[in-house]
Structure 1
Amino acid sequence: MVDVAVVQTNELGDRSYIAHDGQVAIVIDPQRDLDRLQAVLDEHGLRCAMVVETHVHNDYVSGGLQLAHQHHAPYAVNSADKVAFDRQAVTDGDRLTVGDMQVLVVATPGHTDTHLSYVVTGPDGPAAVFTGGSVLYGSVGRTDLVDPARTEELTRAQYRSAHHLARLVDDDARIFPTHGFGSFCSSGSAAGGADSTMGQEKTRNDALTTDEDTFVAKLVAGLTAYPAYYAHMGARNREGAGPVDLSAPQQVSPAELSKRISAGEWVVDLRDRTAYAAEHLGGTVGIALGQQFATYLGWLIPWGTSLTLIGESAEQITDAQRQLVRIGIDRPDGSAVGTLQQLADGHETRGYRRATFAELAAAQQAGDPVTVLDVRRDDERAHGSVPGSAHLPLHSLLHHLDEVPSGPLWVHCASGFRASIAASVLDRAGHDVVLIDDEYATAVKTGQATG
């Protein structure tokens, strides 16, 4: 049986894979920080003999070309993809041999026009099917990234690709998708989980349990907003990305930091939202370092703009850099590490209140001037809201600051994370904000929200 090692990138909701026969390996859809993959290869004593891409990725910059160069291995990419580098061009029906493994290339358009899946078999045991953004656990990859005008066409292609794979492999074939673990490339009822087989997918997958028209209507209706940085990933992957540099960026003095803030540059504070709300350098943006850090920074920052990171330690800066290179933000323009008092050096510090939905209710009952601002996505808002609240999704806030109501703003999302980013953006713009650092579900339970 083909052995498969999983390398998870929880921050983007994706997985890379190493399929091997105990001696040589095929690496599928590698992320760009290759040291994690190399550690797995070394741990198992494997030689990387081939690198393959299921598709030109929309949600991250691939490390495939660089990994192939490092190991002098062929790099398999669809022959129909117009790329600026040498690759092993593959197409539907091709059969490749890697060690004791056989690889069947299968066209599975839908997520992208040129999407491929790879069926890998060994001398015995069930096949391993690497499905990229085609068949996911419980659903399929989204179909509106190539061209919104072609969404229905590609959704129908996605449905047919799923059925083609289901007919092609046995029920015990193991399914290994790249997306579906929190990635915005997922759609429908993506189930996550540790593993699945084609037989399991036949009982639960949206594409395999309904007719085509029902599937198309459901998937299209469920598509939500996706990060703005996706627009830059395809072009970068067609060019072919080089090695990453995770060395420490230039250290910025407090005086230089103040200068950059005053010039309106993006200076991002990595501390948690509680610390940021209590006190921060005026003019910064607070995006707590965590699993969603790169997604939301990449979504909000004007692409190509200067970026300086503020952290409590050098390790925080390095962790942030690792996340950022995956989406093509290769090098921050500087960093500053230390306590807020050390970094302020006379620069204005600000803070704002954190509150609960219960405290919001108390303020409203007391007749305080309160405007509630909901920064959730449109699809979330459609299920219910705080009556009388204003609505500006976080991802569009910077473009609609002139529409933000005046007066004190009580800002909420579903859990507090996105609201904390929005509060920092609004504070930067001079608004009087209160961060509702609470679960929206609490407001629903108490009757403050409609659902």
Structure 2
Amino acid sequence: MFFVDTIETAGLGNRSYLAGGERAAVVVDPPRDIDRVIAAAVRRGVRISHVVETHVHNDYVTGGLELARVTGAAYLVPAGAAVSYARVPVRDGDRHEIDPAAGLVLRALATPGHTPHHTSYALDEHGTAVAVFTGGSLLIGTVGRPDLVEPRLTEPLARAQHASAHRLAAELPDTTAVLPTHGFGSFCSAGRTAGESTTIGAEKTSNEAFTRDVDTFVADLLAGLDDVPAYYAHMGPANTAGPAPVDLTPPALADADEIAVRLAAGEWVVDLRHRLAFADGHVAGSVNIEAEGQLATYLAWLVPWGRPVTLLADSAEQLAAAQRELVRVGIDRPAAAATGEPSGWAREGEALASFPQATFSDLAERSGDGVVVLDVRRDAERATGFIEGSVHLPVHTLHRRLHEVPEGEVWVHCAGGMRAAIAASLLDAAGRRVVAVDDAFDAAEKAGLTVRAR
């Protein structure tokens, strides 16, 4: 009897898998913090015999190379991926026995589209496919985006995505469980996923790759592509070169004087506390990215690559969790850190900064007072509706475009509050008067604000 355990990396919207029988197992698309994977194998009492990659990842640093080294497992990587380290090159049709006693064989299926070399893996039990690990190929209700490799390849890869989905549907039973890596909030997904689990049969009736002809599918896929996080440009090269082992030991602690020096040097000091606590009082010049939000995605997207980062956290536990998230996207070591209360992070005699929080009802009461309404959602979100007269600067571009924000008091909003808090902290650090709207965008029209659609 086989098993499949899911290893969630919720902050990045990805899943890894441990699958096998009573004695041995394979790990698919492992995260960089491999201790979680090893712990899952220990709980199952199995040996990790194989570690496989569906593709060279663009959205996170893989733990595959290190996991294979530590466990002695065979490291399977698509043959078309030009990596710099020794591995077992995988080609279409290759088979690898995972647990012979359980009749488990991993079978490679070339599924280009997300990348040219993308490979899915069917898990066969006694000759029948019971699951397929689809990486960034066939997702739940959608497919992986085809625009992360090279602009000239985007349309050909989109067409390849359609063909790859149909190949999986033609060659695998309808009952085969579809187990993608991306699609649970990942920016590698070309559309929204629908649900937590699926099968080949379910996707054939609902996935856009099957419900649309190839030309319509490609046109809609390309039209719906959203912004690519800036840090993706660094993930592929890191994975091609071979990531180093991670170091999760606590960083050096910074006192108030060191924090001030780092801010003065133009380094990033990131406050991980909840946005309401940050708004009430924080070190002037610090940026707020909540530890409980999409910390890795937004910090790696915003910070100039390689710029030293100091983390301010409620507790040692929050700091450790943040470190773990950040190594997954190649931010390996914080320059320094501090925990506790913001009063201990500011030098004696220096007042903490603060700014107001508000709702869309509060904003409606100020309508006509000449306030600046700043929308920091992504383009695709704004296309579905926006507050009349608002200025649009997506949060991931704001740090480079602060000069484009009109003069006056800035009321900043997103879809729910987390990104508005990031934007408000950037504006506050730049010396602007700011109010962070901590409210769901659905409430804007109900509050009496005029919402228009493009």
Give matches, 1:19-418, under 5 Å.
19-100=19-100, 101-123=104-126, 126-193=129-196, 195-346=197-348, 347-364=350-367, 367-418=368-419
Alpha-carbon separation, structure 2, partners of 1:220 and 1:421? 29
1:421 aligned partner, one-letter code: I
Alpha-carbon separation, structure 2, partners of 1:395 and 1:343? 26
SS at structure 2 position matched to 1:329: coil
Alpha-carbon separation, structure 2, partners of 1:126 and 1:379? 37
TM-score (norm 2): 0.96
Cα pair 1:262 1:283 within 8 Å, conserved: no
Offset at 1:226? 2.3
SS at structure 1 position matched to 2:387: coil
Alpha-carbon separation, structure 2, partners of 1:372 and 1:447? 15
Q: Deviations over 1:73-111 (max 9, x none)?
A: 110001121111100011111122222221211110000
Offset at 1:345? 2.6
SS at structure 1 position matched to 2:209: coil
Offset at 1:125? 5.9
Offset at 1:46? 0.5
1:264 aligned partner, one-letter code: G
Offset at 1:327? 0.4
Structure 1 residues 327-336 or 368-377, which shifts more? Answer: 368-377
Offset at 1:150? 2.4
Cα pair 1:2 1:121 within 8 Å, conserved: no
Alpha-carbon separation, structure 2, partners of 1:188 and 1:341? 43
Gaps (5+ residues) in structure 1?
none
Structure 1 residues 439-448 or 275-284, which shifts more? Answer: 439-448
Offset at 1:447? 4.1
- CA 1:192/1:240 → structure 2, altered by over 3 Å: closer, same or farther? farther
1:232 aligned partner, one-letter code: H
Alpha-carbon separation, structure 1, partners of 2:195 and 2:320? 28
Offset at 1:184? 0.6
- CA 1:317/1:109 → structure 2, altered by over 3 Å: closer, same or farther? same
Offset at 1:188? 2.4
Aligned to 1:439: 440
Give the aligned length. 448
Alpha-carbon separation, structure 2, partners of 1:436 and 1:207? 38
- CA 1:128/1:103 → structure 2, altered by over 3 Å: closer, same or farther? same
SS at structure 2 position matched to 1:280: coil
Cα pair 1:2 1:125 within 8 Å, conserved: no
2:132 aligned partner, one-letter code: V
SS at structure 1 position matched to 2:123: strand
- CA 1:313/1:8 → structure 2, altered by over 3 Å: closer, same or farther? same
Alpha-carbon separation, structure 2, partners of 1:53 and 1:108? 13
Q: Deviations over 1:242-276 (max 9, x none)?
A: 22111100011111111111222100001110011
TM-score (norm 1): 0.97
Cα pair 2:416 2:439 within 8 Å, conserved: yes
Offset at 1:126? 4.5
Alpha-carbon separation, structure 1, partners of 2:265 and 2:247? 27
Gaps (5+ residues) in structure 2?
none
1:431 aligned partner, one-letter code: R
Offset at 1:356? 0.9
Alpha-carbon separation, structure 2, partners of 1:28 and 1:316? 28
Offset at 1:2? 2.9
1:283 aligned partner, one-letter code: G
1:370 aligned partner, one-letter code: V
Structure 1 residues 409-418 or 125-134, which shifts more? Answer: 125-134
Structure 1 residues 123-132 or 229-238, which shifts more? Answer: 123-132
Offset at 1:66? 0.3
Give me the CA root mean square deviation. 1.3
Offset at 1:189? 3.8
SS at structure 2 position matched to 1:350: coil
1:311 aligned partner, one-letter code: A
Cα pair 1:188 1:218 within 8 Å, conserved: no
Give matches, 1:7-22, under 5 Å.
7-22=7-22
Structure 1 residues 128-137 or 378-387, which shifts more? Answer: 378-387
Query: Could you tell me the percent identity over the aligned residues?
Result: 52
SS at structure 2 position matched to 1:207: helix
Offset at 1:36? 1.0
Alpha-carbon separation, structure 1, partners of 2:321 and 2:133? 29
Alpha-carbon separation, structure 2, partners of 1:372 and 1:351? 19
Alpha-carbon separation, structure 1, partners of 2:169 and 2:365? 56
Alpha-carbon separation, structure 2, partners of 1:103 and 1:436? 50
Cα pair 2:122 2:129 within 8 Å, conserved: no
Alpha-carbon separation, structure 1, partners of 2:145 and 2:195? 15
Cα pair 1:264 1:283 within 8 Å, conserved: no
Cα pair 1:189 1:206 within 8 Å, conserved: no
Offset at 1:444? 2.5
Alpha-carbon separation, structure 2, partners of 1:56 and 1:319? 25
Cα pair 2:360 2:447 within 8 Å, conserved: no
Alpha-carbon separation, structure 1, partners of 2:145 and 2:445? 30
